[in-house]
Structure formats: C-alpha cells, structure tokens
Amino acid sequence: MSVNQSLKPITTSVNNKGHLEIGGCDLVDLAQEYATPLYVIDEATLRGICRDYKKAFEGYHNIKMMYASKALCTSAIARILDEEGFGFDTVSAGEIYTVYKSGVDMSKVLFNGNNKTRKEIELALDLKVGRFSVDNFYEAELLNKIALEKGVKVDILLRLTPGIECHTHEYIQTGQIDSKFGFDLTQVDKIVELIVDEYKQLNLKGVHAHIGSQIFELKSFEDEVEILVKEIARINEKYGLNLDEMNIGGGLGVKYTDKDCPPDTKDLAKVITEAMHKHSVEIPTIYIEPGRSIISTSGVTLYTVGSSKVVNINGKTKRYVAVDGGMADNPRPSMYQAEYLADVANKPENNEKEKVTIAGRYCESGDILINEIELPYLETGDVICVYNTGAYNYSMASNYNRVEKPAMVLVNSAQSDIIVNRESLDDLISHDNIPSRLRK
C-alpha cells in the first residue's frame, strides 16, 4: 500500500500516556507547547510518498517528478522535496521565490498559470526558471516580448485542455473543454504557427495538461496520455518539429475518509507506462506533477475544544462542539463540501462515544469542519486531531475575522521544529496604513 492510501500519517500511534503521537511527538504536548490551531507535518510520511512515486516509476527511465507547489509551499517543504529529487510546478511569483530562496535548482522549476503578470514573468526569467507552461495567446505574445527585451530564449510547453472530465468536484476539474485553463485542441495549430513564424524567442519543447484533482479513476490518465501522444505526433509531422516533452500533470487522489479508495502509485505508474507503450511515438521526457497526494496525508491539524451546544430538531438532538479554528485555516469543507476524519488526541481510545458536529469559530453558519462524527465524549480543553490536512489548508488559509494564521511544525524522530511561525496581532496590522489626515 502506498502512503496516499493511508488515512493517517504512517508514524501515528498511541503512546503509554494514552495520547496520540505522530513522528514520535505527543500531540497533546505539541498543542501545549505551540498552541492551537496547529498544523503538524510528519516528515517520514512526506518522504515516504516521495519514495513511493519514484519507486513506482523506476522502470521507466524518462519520468521526471515535479511537486505541485500550490498544495503546500513553504521553505522547509521545498527543501525536503528538493532532497527527494523532485522538481517544482509553480503558479506564482511567491511560489517561485520560495523555492528559489530554499536553494532549489531553478532549471527544475516550471511556471504554470492562466494569467501570469509581466512582473511574474520577469522574475521567472531573471531567476532562470526551466520551463514556462504557456496557457493562452495573450501570454505567448507577452512572454515573447519580454524575452526579446531581455535577450533570452525561453523553453516552453503548451498547456492543453484535452477534453477529459474526471468524476471529482467541478471546482477541481481542469481538463474539460469548458475550463479557464489552456488551449483547446481546436486552437493548437494557431498557437504553434505563431510560435514557428513570429514568436522567435519561444522554444517549444512539448505539451502540458492537467485533468483535475482527487482522481480515483485511472482510466482518465490513460485517456489523457493517448490524446497528448497523438497531438505531439500530429504537431511534429505537420510542422516538422521535434517536440520531446509531455507533462501529464498530477491529480491522484488521497484517503480523506474510510469510504475513499484512491489508487496505489504503482497502479498509476502501470496505467501511464502501458498507455505510453501502446503508441509508436517516442517521447524522451515525461513529467508528472503530484501535489495533494504528496503532502496531504503527512499533515494533521490540532484544535482545542471550547464551547458546545445541543439543539433539538424534530425531536432529535444534535450537539455542536466548537474549536478554536475553522474555515479560515481549512476552507475546503465550506468550498467543496470536503469530508474529514478526526480523533481526540488526549483520549483516542476512550470508549464513551457520541455523535457530534465539529463547528469552527468564524462568523459564518457554514463554518462546519466535520458534520456528525462519532468521537469520545468531548469536553472543553480536549485536543482534536483532524487528519489529512497537509494539502490546501495552509495554502488556502486566510485572516477572516482578523484572526492570526496558525503555526506549522515539522515532526520527525521525536523532534519538533517550527517551519511556519504563528502570526501575531502585530503581523495582522503590519501592512495597514492610516492616512495622515486621519491620524490623531
């Protein structure tokens, strides 16, 4: 079983105090030392899934692993992924700058995104990012212009929408025709002709697609490979080019709840490599860009229980238990109706259980982290551990209600280290400015 199929970090256990521990660290102690809400990343789980991916594809010599940084991008995470031999798919100046300052070889970085600004393009060129994934006609023209101004040539991939709709939430589908991302297949000839005839600073190396996220049906990847391989062959034949790179994106699912059954990384590798072997076109370099499946399982979030209330609905009672975080540190339940599982870190094996709804602290009725979960009876001060929060929690966090963002710690071999400091109240107002005419 690969790590993405695990509900909890691989080092999760109950210690002799009856507390949950991850990475050899007691979660109750972490909550006391660093306060809550607290993001916790298990280094062993993170490295484990990286190695699962590399082992799954080891027989296919030309696969290059890229981490989709949008899932979680911090300096320490970038260092770990770099040490594990991954490149980086980035989508903003902030992600580019983070991996650059972390000491990453920038030739292993791809700049992706549907509306790159001039400032971001200039930064990427100055830092010598290895590839641009060109998303649209406007970007191609702008990139060529800026590259000409700087006197450089740019290696690019064309971002295509192959027309594949995955069975996942509509907000995280990206490969269907009705999408804001990429060129649809009817537009490919026009952009290739512009590159060949006019945009001389752009060196077209291949194509790029990403069909969605939290994908469980591997047939989607097989269909994607077939479409991209045929398109590369068609472009090469028609225009006399030698496109030799294909980036198939990421999207492999993870296990958020017991009903989720994501494929193993070995199964993903088998489908992709067999799909490649079906076609006579030789593509020397193939990129794959996992994000969620790399980081999600390694992360948990700790919360402290505060207030609670019981309501009576048509003769049935329902208990709400509020914690000290919610939709600002994990917006996914309110955005995608995402589901999570949790344990009570200070008494995970308590047999006195109840069904409760875990509510957040924010001023929205929809701020519900988990709707109706069976847990040991909850009291004020208990520490709740929500699993599989490594991806798209911190990276989508906000300061809604002017609340400080949580800290993040990395745990490994009974050692914990802060990798993101908790925001302070002064941090919250650090970018505010009062015009002189309003000052007392």
Query: Annotated catalytic sites, by residue?
Result: 363
| Residues whose CB falls within 8 Å of the CB of residue 30, separated by 6 or more in sequence, listed in order | 38, 40, 302, 409, 411, 416
Give the three-state DSSP class for 174: coil
DSSP string for 239-256: HT----EEE----B---S
Running DSSP on this structure, what letter comes out for residue 276? H
Taking phi first (over 0 means left), then psi (-120 to 50 degrees means alpha), and beta for anything else, what does residue 23 get?
left
Residue bearing tokens 């994934």? 133
Using CA atoms, how far apart are residues 304 and 32, in angstroms rounded to an integer? 10
Taking every pair of C-alpha atoms in the chain, what is the biggest distance, in angstroms?
Answer: 75
Task: Look at residues 411, 408, 330, 374 and name the one whose alpha carbon lies nearest to residue 13.
Answer: 411
Alpha-carbon distances, residue 134 vs 107, 130, 192 (angstroms): 17, 13, 11
Continuous H helices in 8-92: 27-34, 43-56, 75-83
Q: What contacts 310, CB < 8 A, 6 or more positions away? A: 317, 318, 319, 320
Reported as half-sphere exposure (CB side, CA atoms, 13 A), residue 106 has a value of: 16
Sole residue written with tokens 């109750």: 28
**Which of 247-259 are b and which e, b meaning 16 or more Cβ less than 10 Å from the residue's Cβ?**
bbbbbbbbbbeee
Within 8 A by CB and 6+ apart from 276, the residues are 60, 225, 229, 283, 286
What Å distances lie between residue 262 and 3, 338, 376, CA to CA? Answer: 10, 15, 28
Using alpha carbons only, how large is the chain's radius of gyration in Å? 23
| 89 three-state secondary structure | strand
Residue 348 CA to residue 161 CA, distance in Å, equals 46
Whether omega for the bond prior to residue 37 falls within 30 degrees of 0, making it cis, is yes
Instruction: Round to whole Å and give the CA distance between 387 and 92.
Output: 28
E-assigned strands of 256-298? Answer: 285-288
